[in-house]
Amino acid sequence: MKLLRPESGHSAAAATGTLPDVDRLTTTGFASLLDRAIAVVCCAVLAWSFIEGRNALQHVDRIWLALIGGSIVAAAVLMPFYAWSRRGVRALAGIYAVIVLVGHVTWPYAWTDARAAASPPTLTLLLGLGVICMGIALSSAVAVLYAVVSAVAYVAVSLTPSGGSLRPVDAVQGALAFVVQPLLVWLILQFVRQAVASFDEHLAQRRDESTETAVDRALSDERLRLDAIIHDEVLTTLVAAARGSDRDQKVAELASHALATLQREASGDPMDAPVSADQFVRLIKDVSTSVCPTAEVNAEIPAASLTIEPAVVRELLRATREAVLNAERHAQASSVQVDVWVAATLRRLQVRIVVTDDGVGFDANAVLPSRLGLRLAVIGRLEALGGRAAVSSVPGRGTDVRLMWVGERSQPQAGGPHTRRRVWQHPIFAPVHPRPLALLSSALVALNVLIAGLDRTAFAQPWLVAVASVLFGVASVIGVYCLVLPPAGPLRGWLMSGLVVSGTGLALAALGPRAWAPDALWFVAPASLLALVVLASGEALPAWLAAAIYGVAVVIAASLGGQPPERVVSVAAAPLFWLTVLTLFFWWLDSLQAQVDQAETAVEEAARLDASTVSKLMFREVWLSELREVVAPALAKLAGQVEPVTDEDRRRFLLLEGSLRDGLMAGNLNSPALSAAIMDARARGVSVTLVDNRGSNLPAAARKSALRRLEAMVRAAEGGRVVARTAPEGYGEAVTILQVPSGREAKLTVIGENGSVSTGVPLPAAD
């Protein structure tokens, strides 16, 4: 009789009673949303710049346009794709910023018209965006340095014909507006970004701590239950069969009882409690490494808590295990990677899993449908669930298996917009003082006032600009008090709104009937920013009313002066746009806090349910399933007594019993490939002993290194002994492997906690 070899080693959870951490887990919150927003803005600003500068581009060298322009377009177009993947936008943002600066510096050399340009260089708007991109790519300090260099470059280029031959004062105005102002915006964004990133990390840690202890305790109980089944039912039957006679009735009864026990445990009450996203990715890690210990699992889940229905979890675990097992069996891969993404909207949940190996690959079109097991084990399973699966492979270039499921959220997101909530009262901003944010906001207002004061000739009535500047300045001072010394109160909110509306009216009156120059629209940023401060202070009605009156005033003034429609829309809608963005931000904060509050009210019950569901799922769908695959054929033959038990069968029973005992005693040193190698070695007369003295999971690097080294030794051994031991926690070495070949010197190999391998001094030869 040919027995099935163990195709699945014991998982890390089976070995230690705890779920392993994934190799790389990231949570998506506001920090990643900001990166995605920047990516979209890069594309939008680039498109607007090319539309505005389409006439100027006719006078630009074609080679420069292809090299610089093409590179900027490529970086901008790729950025959204990177922003929505785990790779992020940092590298592309840095490339984007560098190319923009190089393009601006070389703009005079690319200009082919002898006449002065009628508008600023096409890349002018991109300089400010480059400041923000450089901050994302590296740091705020580098962003400041980039802004200084960009400002100098802008002034220098603006004085040339290619930059419009501006007056020095106009060039300085432009540098302040297009470079320094975006720098202040970046510093404000970075302030918020760091606060929210810290909260993302805190939220993930808090969520993990709420269930980890309960899950580990439940897994430990289930592990004891599995060990009892293996020891009392399976091992007893295999040993009795190996030592008994042919068609032994007692052995048949033992085998029948063992099969009945396995069937009873596998068909228990169905699980109806959902599984949290963080536990789901840890389950994926466990089932993947149970069949391929070297598999690397990376995951991205939302920072906010969400759950996945157990039926979905069960099928995704099975499909993932089959895909990883296929790579381990057939791909001859040196690397197997599993990437998991969990994303959610208000009521929809999306799970995407990609299993990638660098193995030999195959031609899917040349494989008969009946022989492609993945089509049945993976694709069919996902389609039955309502999901999708696809397998792509190229000979010599590995295989990708992509799993996708989209469905309803088991717990729809709670909460809604409450724009009267003061932003500093949210837990995100609790550890930070609002003073830096208030000072940066005031600096931004002061900068725009400075821009307006540098050139009085841009205004029909300069004295109105001075009065408007004073009004904006007073509103800015009140805004600082609102942020630093809350609560703001209705009086401050209405007073600030009145000052914003009055300042805007005076600034528009100062323009007169002439065409609006970009530098003359200095009031747009202060009005928008101060309206945001009013809203952030908890006074929504004054903020929205001021923005509406501002928009009406701009439209009336534009109609009197015959301004271009696109400029009127961009100026009039600015405060309303930013108030909408801040309102959505408040909505996100409130939704997140509502979920946190809801979780805190029932944290013990949630932890208990999560622990119970995860532990039962592991027991039935992973551990028990793997055990049945290995022992069911042998037990079925013994129970049926149809074929006689041969000496070869008895020998295999003992080998299988030894492999299962290894799993009981040394879960950290168990894998499919190693189990098969040990069975072959024992059949050749090699004594292999595995001892696990560790009470927790081995570090991933140490386990991978130890399994590879141990498998190579066992396969190469022709006789003698191989003894592998894991060290308890706290020792410098993680695993020691003693190899004693027959008639040759023994050697000791030590695996460090970080996976390092060292060979000790040769020991005396064995007798």
Which pLDDT tens digit goes with each residue over 431-460?
556 677 677 777 777 777 777 776 677 777
| Distance, CA of 445 to CA of 500 (rounded, Å) | 12
Pick 13 or 307 by higher pLDDT: 307
Query: What does the mean pLDDT of the chain come to?
Result: 76
Tokens of 101: 């600066």
Residue 299 DSSP code: E
pLDDT of residue 96: 92
Q: Please count the residues of the chain.
A: 767
DSSP string covering 338-401, please? EEEEEEE-SSEEEEEEEEEE-S----GGGS-GGG-HHIIIIIHHHHHHT-EEEEEE-TTS-EEE
Residue 669 DSSP code: G
Residue 114 DSSP code: S
**Cis geometry, peptide bond prior to residue 487 (ω within 30 degrees of 0):** yes
Reported as a single tens digit per residue, the pLDDT across 751-765 is 888 888 887 645 544
Helices (H), 684-743: 700-716
Reported as a single tens digit per residue, the pLDDT across 665-719 is 666 777 767 777 887 888 888 888 888 777 677 887 888 888 888 888 888 888 8
* Cα four-point dihedral sign 431, 443, 181, 530: positive
CA distances from 132 to 87, 149, 584 (A): 19, 14, 21
Pick 74 or 382 by higher pLDDT: 74
Residue 360 phi, psi dihedral angles, 5° rounding? -75, -25
Among 194-198, 323-327, 611-615, 758-762, the range with the most confident prediction by mean pLDDT is: 323-327
pLDDT of residue 149: 94
Tokens of 557: 């003034």
Lowest mean pLDDT: which of 69-73, 227-231, 280-284? 227-231
Mean pLDDT, range 319-336, rounded to an integer: 84
Asked if 304 contacts 592 with a C-beta cutoff of 8 angstroms, the reply is yes
| Distance, CA of 623 to CA of 508 (rounded, Å) | 74
Mean pLDDT, range 351-359, rounded to an integer: 91
CA 621 to chain centre: 27
Reported as a single tens digit per residue, the pLDDT across 15-58 is 444 556 666 666 555 556 767 778 888 888 888 888 777 778 88
Helix 310-330 to helix 672-683 angle, to the nearest 10 degrees? 50
Residue type present at position 388: R
Tokens of 213: 């202890």
pLDDT of residue 616: 62
Residue type present at position 200: D
pLDDT of residue 152: 93
Asked if 428 contacts 546 with a C-beta cutoff of 8 angstroms, the reply is no
Tokens of 65: 């346009």
Residue type present at position 508: L
Reported as a single tens digit per residue, the pLDDT across 58-117 is 888 899 989 998 999 999 899 888 887 766 788 889 999 999 999 999 999 998 887 877
Q: How confident is the model at residue 623 (pLDDT cuts 50, 70, 90)?
A: low
Asked if 503 contacts 468 with a C-beta cutoff of 8 angstroms, the reply is yes
Residue 755 phi, psi dihedral angles, 5° rounding? 90, 0
Q: How confident is the model at residue 279 (pLDDT cuts 50, 70, 90)?
A: confident
Reported as a single tens digit per residue, the pLDDT across 238-248 is 777 777 766 67
Asked whether the predicted pLDDT for residue 726 surpasses 70, the reply is: yes
Q: How confident is the model at residue 224 (pLDDT cuts 50, 70, 90)?
A: low
Reported as a single tens digit per residue, the pLDDT across 537-569 is 778 889 999 999 999 999 998 888 777 787 788
Asked if 19 contacts 11 with a C-beta cutoff of 8 angstroms, the reply is no
CA distances from 650 to 248, 259, 666 (A): 13, 19, 24
Helix 310-330 to helix 277-291 angle, to the nearest 10 degrees? 30
Beta strand ranges found along 394-536 (DSSP E)? 399-408
Beta strand ranges found along 621-761 (DSSP E)? 687-692, 721-726, 733-740, 745-752, 757-759
| Distance, CA of 466 to CA of 62 (rounded, Å) | 45
In sequence order, the 6+-apart residues with CB closer than 8 A to the CB of 396 are 360, 361
> What count of Cα atoms within 13 Å lies in the side-chain half-sphere of residue 32?
19
Tokens of 255: 């085998």
Tokens of 685: 């007369």
Asked whether the predicted pLDDT for residue 216 surpasses 70, the reply is: no
Q: How confident is the model at residue 379 (pLDDT cuts 50, 70, 90)?
A: confident
Residue 23 DSSP code: S
Among 112-116, 392-396, 417-421, the range with the most confident prediction by mean pLDDT is: 392-396
Q: How confident is the model at residue 417 (pLDDT cuts 50, 70, 90)?
A: very low
Pick 319 or 622 by higher pLDDT: 319
pLDDT of residue 240: 78
Which residues are 699's β-sheet partners? Answer: none
Tokens of 354: 């990609």
| Distance, CA of 251 to CA of 228 (rounded, Å) | 19
pLDDT of residue 74: 92
Lowest mean pLDDT: which of 246-260, 421-435, 551-565, 567-581? 421-435
Asked whether the predicted pLDDT for residue 174 surpasses 90, the reply is: no
Tokens of 655: 């080998």
Lowest mean pLDDT: which of 92-96, 303-307, 730-734? 303-307
Helix 90-105 to helix 124-137 angle, to the nearest 10 degrees? 140
Mean pLDDT, range 349-355, rounded to an integer: 90
| Distance, CA of 39 to CA of 84 (rounded, Å) | 9
Residue 165 phi, psi dihedral angles, 5° rounding? 50, 50
Mean pLDDT, range 482-501, rounded to an integer: 79
Mean pLDDT, range 659-667, rounded to an integer: 66
Q: Nearest-CA neighbor of 429 among 150, 196, 676, 209?
A: 196
CA distances from 475 to 355, 446, 497, 542, 578 (A): 57, 11, 8, 13, 18
Pick 220 or 570 by higher pLDDT: 570
Lowest mean pLDDT: which of 259-273, 473-487, 564-578? 259-273
Asked whether the predicted pLDDT for residue 474 surpasses 80, the reply is: yes
Mean pLDDT, range 370-394, rounded to an integer: 71
pLDDT of residue 437: 67
| Distance, CA of 120 to CA of 216 (rounded, Å) | 64
Q: CB 552: neighbour CB atoms within 10 A?
A: 12
| Distance, CA of 634 to CA of 649 (rounded, Å) | 9
| Distance, CA of 722 to CA of 662 (rounded, Å) | 13
pLDDT of residue 703: 84
Q: How confident is the model at residue 766 (pLDDT cuts 50, 70, 90)?
A: very low
pLDDT of residue 665: 65
Asked whether the predicted pLDDT for residue 412 surpasses 50, the reply is: no
pLDDT of residue 679: 79
Asked if 698 contacts 668 with a C-beta cutoff of 8 angstroms, the reply is yes
| Distance, CA of 266 to CA of 524 (rounded, Å) | 68
pLDDT of residue 767: 44
Mean pLDDT, range 571-589, rounded to an integer: 81
| Distance, CA of 242 to CA of 151 (rounded, Å) | 85
Asked whether the predicted pLDDT for residue 394 surpasses 70, the reply is: yes
The 3-state DSSP class for residue 332 equals coil
pLDDT of residue 365: 66
| Distance, CA of 736 to CA of 275 (rounded, Å) | 38
| Distance, CA of 700 to CA of 12 (rounded, Å) | 10
Pick 122 or 718 by higher pLDDT: 718
Which residues are 25's β-sheet partners? Answer: 299
**In percent, how much of the chain has pLDDT > 90?**
9
Sort 481 into a burial class: Cβ within 10 Å, 0-12 / 13-18 / 19+: middle
In sequence order, the 6+-apart residues with CB closer than 8 A to the CB of 647 are none
Asked whether the predicted pLDDT for residue 605 surpasses 70, the reply is: no
Q: Nearest-CA neighbor of 631 among 92, 235, 305?
A: 235
Pick 304 or 141 by higher pLDDT: 141
Reported as a single tens digit per residue, the pLDDT across 398-410 is 888 889 998 876 5
pLDDT of residue 5: 43
